[in-house]
Amino acid sequence: MTIAQISGCIGCGTCVKTCPTDVLRIDPKTKKAIIKYPADCQICHLCRMYCPVDAITISPEKSIPVIVSWG
């Protein structure tokens, strides 16, 4: 499983810090986020939610149903 793509990244690094399973890295050459370890992605959507420029796309068919308890 992995997120679909990153497009329009400004290299802020937020998603790298946010990802709980360490999927994302900043490419040293381009200074933009890359999907370094796609197999580890849990489709948790945190990177997408925290990206300030909405650069991360997650295709709906790849998402797993999430049950959130706010209790």
Query: CA 35, CA 65: separation in Å to the nearest integer?
Result: 22
Q: Least distance to ligand SF4 from the beta carbon of 71, Å?
A: 23
**Residues lying near ligand SF4 in the complex (CB under 6 A):** 3, 6, 9-15, 18-19, 21, 23-24, 33, 41-47, 51, 53, 55-56
Which residue's structure tokens are 């790849």?
62
**CB closer to ligand SF4 out of 53 and 59:** 53
Long-range contact pairs involving 26-34 (C-beta distance under 8 Å, separation at least 24): 32/6, 33/6, 33/9, 34/6
Q: Least distance to ligand SF4 from the beta carbon of 38, Å?
A: 8
